[in-house]
Chain A
Amino acid sequence: AQSVTQPDIHITVSEGASLELRCNYSYGATPYLFWYVQSPGQGLQLLLKYFSGDTLVQGIKGFEAEFKRSQSSFNLRKPSVHWSDAAEYFCAVNSGYSTLTFGKGTMLLVSP
């Protein structure tokens, strides 16, 4: 069965510092991978997706993610974090019939 692991429940980053959020997946076939962001009281917004081609994908708000098949990882990165990036981030893998399996999320806190 497919699964997604986000090892970090909370991460605190200073404003202006770089960010990396980890995501590991378990899926037998070629994975379709997504990162979503959720601001308090809101639904989820797509940051970026990967399903083929270049393993480094660019998303909205300056985020990027790198797919590494050998490590079963799809880590999210941003070179310089802004206070408005404070939110919860979810990694997800497509499980078939466009159903998604989500990780449990990583809460990002941004310190001044």
Chain B
Amino acid sequence: NAGVTQTPKFRVLKTGQSMTLLCAQDMNHEYMYWYRQDPGMGLRLIHYSVGEGTTAKGEVPDGYNVSRLKKQNFLLGLESAAPSQTSVYFCASTPTGRDQPQHFGDGTRLSIL
């Protein structure tokens, strides 16, 4: 059981380049999330989805777009990367309900030069 899988694990981009981070979960979870983690800032929610075909903004959505075309996948896109988007990105998923814990992937380390 793979759980939550993020690809790629590492990436270096130049300012202005675009890329897509992929998150896949095999637990049939309804809700999926993208976070960024920066030193001393904890995890901050970028976007999330409460089901296939739905997306919503989180705390820090600017500069990112997302899509949830299939229930098991949640894509995070950077259209024009900026150095301020250098971070570690985590994907998570959960069934439904407030009492359900989130299951996290191992993260994607993204550096933008």
Q: How many Å from the CB of A96 to the closest CB on chain B?
A: 7
Judge if B33 is at the interface, Cβ distance under 8 Å: yes
Tally of A-B residue pairs with Cβ under 8 A? Answer: 60
Q: How many Å from the CB of A21 to the closest CB on chain B?
A: 14
Contact A90 B101, CB 8 Å, known A43-B107, A98-B94, A98-B96? no
Q: Which of B90, B94, B100 contacts A43 (CB 8 A)?
A: B90
B interface size (C-beta, 8 A)? 27
Judge if A11 is at the interface, Cβ distance under 8 Å: no
Main secondary structure of the interface of A (DSSP, over half): loop
A interface size (C-beta, 8 A)? 23
Chain A residue with the shortest CB-CB distance to B56:
A97
B interface list, Cβ under 8 A from A: 4, 31, 33, 40-45, 48, 50, 56, 58, 90, 92, 94, 96-102, 104-107
Given contact pairs A32-B99, A46-B102, enumerate 13 new A-B contacts (beta carbons under 8 Å).
Answer: A41-B106, A43-B105, A44-B43, A44-B102, A49-B101, A97-B50, A98-B31, A99-B33, A99-B45, A99-B48, A100-B102, A103-B42, A104-B42
A-B contact pairs, 12 of them (CB 8 A): A9-B40, A43-B105, A44-B90, A44-B92, A44-B104, A46-B101, A46-B102, A49-B99, A94-B99, A97-B48, A104-B40, A105-B42
